[in-house]
Amino acid sequence: MATLYIDNTNKTGDLTGADWTFTNGSTAVASAGNGDAVNNGLVAGDYIRANGGTQWYKVATVTDGDNLVITPAFQQATIAGTATINWQDVSVKDGTSIANAWCHPALYTTDTVRTAGDIGKMRANQTHVMAGIHLIADEDGTGIAPIQLIGCNSVDDPWSDASDVDPKIDFSSTVFKLSWSTDFFWWFDNIEFTGSTGTVLTMGNVPGLKCKNLNVHDNFGGLQTWASISGSNPYPGDAEVEDCIFADNTNQFTIATDLKIKSTTINGGTTGFAIEVGNIELEDVLIGQTTPLTKDFYMGNGNIKARRSKFDFDKVSFYAASYSVEVASEDHNQVIGDHKRKSTPVFIERETTEVRGGGATSSIKVTPTTFCNTNYPKIVMEWEEQAVPASAQTRGVAIKQGLADPTGFPTNVQLWLEAEYYNHATNDTVTTAVSTATISVYDTWTWFPVTYTPAQVQKVRYRVWLGVKKSAEAYYIDNQLYDANTI
């Protein structure tokens, strides 16, 4: 493992010649005469740029002293008549010290071989223009020795710049991007990414990926991940994003793998959404709080589990009816005890105004949709009781229908309480008992008891199921399990 350095002002020297010309869209670079490319030792693999230019280019071939070929094609407006070319001889500049820092991030990620534990340090307050080239990798780190690419600041300051301006990778309004595929355990820290007309960070099959302190803005897409299980890569992939900012990207995240997002801000783009699909955990994440998004979540498969995060449940949308996909938020909007869940069939939220006198201080408000029906009932409340005695037991909950409904009330196979208990003295077999009560008066609490006899002292799970959509506004469940009728 090694620490390596990246500084886009570092060069070996200048190549002189008469009227060097860089032509927009061309890979050919030519001098009108007296070019010293060969005499100075320029070879394929070195980097050049027009004196004062914004982007370094890799030399593909050197034809003669006056003619050479670069990759990618020249991205800026044509530059003609320049007397010198900035040159970095990569046989001399090996990245191992400040004096020998590489001029281009690709020298760290792609051109040279990485070893697990390597750390690439990018000089603070610099912009690396990457138009016309993907930034990609071809080696793996390990769980205890990730490969890192980090931006320096006033704390980690090998150049003594005393700057906290993150280095920037600017794709300059091109479709190019940072593209990682089947490269394990890479960490990115303190870098700004901008200017991609595609999704700027694309990560596929990347166990151990970690993005920290990134500012990802003004791209078509912010982060895309995907996973597959095949051949030599039997890993589903995962990623972690922490202390990042994603803002003003048309689309923020498109996720098809496991992802954890912590202490991150996601703000709006033109017409974008925050997160599309995926199994995602959120902790202390702020979504659309400064600049709103069209959709906060656009769900197709996978689930979102959020803690202490802020987003708008009215901006949670589903591709189509999906009975297993849901968004669950604990301490929603950073309010302790305010828990909410939304799926295609139901929206479940904590309620503190519609409560039962003498009951719990909160209730569970359940608002079903037309997708909630007897064929696909939904668990809307669940408890677990430990060490229940092996004798006859009764437990119950209080439920009410909020508004009158001309179509009547749910039947006992559309709304019920279920107890799952152990029905054998030694084996782990279980069975269920269900309530038979029904609501008969709206806006009035109804007792839903269930009676059962466990065969051993063991835990019992209780679930309230709903499998109907009425025109009534919602159902309310007293947020407590009782062993006697208290209504």
Give residue 202's pLDDT.
86
Across 81-90, 161-170, 319-328, the highest mean pLDDT is recorded for 161-170
Q: CA–CA separation, 269 vs 218, rounded Å?
A: 8
pLDDT in tens, 359-418: 999 999 999 988 888 888 999 999 999 999 999 999 999 999 988 777 889 999 999 999
Q: Collect all residues with Cβ–Cβ distance below 8 Å to 444 and sequence separation of at least 6.
A: 400
DSSP string of 110-145?
A: IIS---TT-EEEEPSS-EEE-TT--EE------SSS
pLDDT in tens, 232-266: 444 545 688 999 999 988 888 887 778 899 999 99
pLDDT in tens, 90-100: 999 999 999 99
> In this structure, are residues 431 and 420 in contact, taking their beta carbons and an 8 Å threshold?
yes
> In this structure, are residues 449 and 437 in contact, taking their beta carbons and an 8 Å threshold?
yes
Mean pLDDT value of segment 204-224: 87
Give residue 276's pLDDT.
78
Residue 144 has pLDDT above 70, yes or no: yes
- In this predicted model, which residue has the larger pLDDT, 32 or 460? 460
Lowest mean pLDDT among 78-82, 295-299, 343-347, 455-459: 295-299
> In this structure, are residues 19 and 31 in contact, taking their beta carbons and an 8 Å threshold?
yes
Nearest to 177 by CA among 202, 140, 160: 202
Partners of 212 in beta bridges: 189, 242
Alpha helix (H) residue ranges in 58-162: 106
Sign of CA dihedral 93, 95, 96, 97: positive
**CATH topology for the 11-88 domain:** Elongation Factor Tu (Ef-tu); domain 3 (2.40.30)
- In this predicted model, which residue has the larger pLDDT, 273 or 424? 424
Give residue 161's pLDDT.
97
Confidence band for 137, pLDDT divided at 50, 70 and 90 = confident
pLDDT in tens, 427-446: 999 999 999 999 999 999 99
Confidence band for 321, pLDDT divided at 50, 70 and 90 = low
Residue 149 has pLDDT above 50, yes or no: yes
Q: Would you list the domain boundaries of the chain?
A: 11-88, 106-345, 363-478
Mean pLDDT value of segment 297-321: 86
Question: Matching CATH topology for 11-88 and 363-478?
Answer: no
Q: Which CATH class is domain 363-478?
A: mainly beta
Nearest to 460 by CA among 378, 392, 364: 392
Give residue 235's pLDDT.
52
Mean pLDDT value of segment 192-218: 89
Residue 334 has pLDDT above 90, yes or no: yes
Mean pLDDT value of segment 54-60: 95
Which residue is it, tokens 């005393």? 162
